[in-house]
Chain A
Amino acid sequence: SQKIEQNSEALNIQEGKTATLTCNYTNYSPAYLQWYRQDPGRGPVFLLLIRENEKEKRKERLKVTFDTTLKQSLFHITASQPADSATYLCALDMSNNDMRFGAGTRLTVKP
C-alpha cells in the first residue's frame, strides 16, 4: 500500500540546535518533494521544493535532502529558534497533478 510517514508526531529540541525531520514514503514515485510549515488555524506555508534528480537544496537556515533510492527526505533547520515551532509537512508532488501530504511533525523549540 502507499504510505507517507513523518518521524514521530512531535519533536522537542533546545534553541540553537539543529532540528532534523524525516519523511519516508513507499509505493510512490514523486517528481518533486515539497516541505511546508503550518501554524495552528492557518494554511500551510511553502518552504522548499526539491526535484527527483536533486540531492540537496538550501534556503537560509533550511536544508532538504532527497534520496529516491531510500525513498526518504530529510529536512533540517539549523540554529533553531522558538519562532520555528510549528507543524512541518512533507508533500509528494506527482507528475499526474496529485499531491500527497504526510501527517506532519510538530516541532517545539524551547528557549
Chain B
Amino acid sequence: ETGVTQSPTHLIKTRGQQVTLRCSSQSGHNTVSWYQQALGQGPQFIFQYYREEENGRGNFPPRFSGLQFPNYSSELNVNALELDDSALYLCASRREGAYSVYGYTFGSGTRLTVV
C-alpha cells in the first residue's frame, strides 16, 4: 500500500491569488475527500468525489472546487484566497462498495498560509 500523498507540504500565497493542492489516493481507493483543519480544531469537510463526480459537499463557498482523475488522484482549487483560508488541508481516500464501509486513509496535509 502506498498510502495517500499530498503536495506541496507547505505553501505561502498572497490574498486574492489562486492555489491548487494535489493528492494521490491510496491504491484501490475510489473515493476521495478534502478537509480544512484550523489549528486546534477538527477537520472540516469540504467535498467528496466518487468515480470523478462530486457526491458530497460541506459548507464551503464555490471558490473551493475540485477534480478527481481516472487514476483517482485529485486536486483542490481555491480561488480568491482570503486570510482565513490559512489552514492545514487534508486529503483522505477510501474504498467504497455497495455493502461495505471503511475508514479513511489521510495524507499528511498541505499547510497553506495566506498573507
Contact = CB atoms under 8 A, between A and B. Distances in A.
A43 B107 contact: yes
A95 to B, nearest CB: 10
Contacts, number: 62
Contact of B106 (A4, A31, A43, A93): A43
Interface stretch (B37-45, B62-70, B76-84): B37-45
Interface residues of B, number: 26
Give the interface size bracket for A toward B: 20 to 34
25 contacts: A31-B101, A36-B103, A41-B108, A42-B108, A42-B109, A43-B90, A43-B106, A44-B106, A45-B106, A46-B102, A46-B105, A47-B103, A49-B103, A51-B101, A89-B43, A93-B101, A98-B48, A98-B56, A98-B57, A99-B45, A101-B42, A101-B43, A101-B44, A102-B42, A104-B42
Interface of A: 4, 31-32, 34, 36, 41-49, 51, 89, 91, 93, 96-104
